[in-house]
Structure 1
């Protein structure tokens, strides 16, 4: 395992602030590279 880089996390952040992410609410999104299952 390793820590993610800001560039790897930026994709999810961009989605959440875009129009496509407008219907998401109350979700826990783990951006951890699959270290937890």
Structure 2
């Protein structure tokens, strides 16, 4: 997941946009190999 967040512009990581980022990440398909982390 860290590699996904790394590609986001820094401004998307501001508190007011954090909910939007989490919703985006929640919508991504979770692969079995990613669940191990």
Is the TM-score greater than 0.5?
A: no
TM-score under structure 2 normalisation? 0.25
TM-score under structure 1 normalisation? 0.25
Tell which structure's C-alpha radius of gyration is larger.
1
Greater share of helix: 2
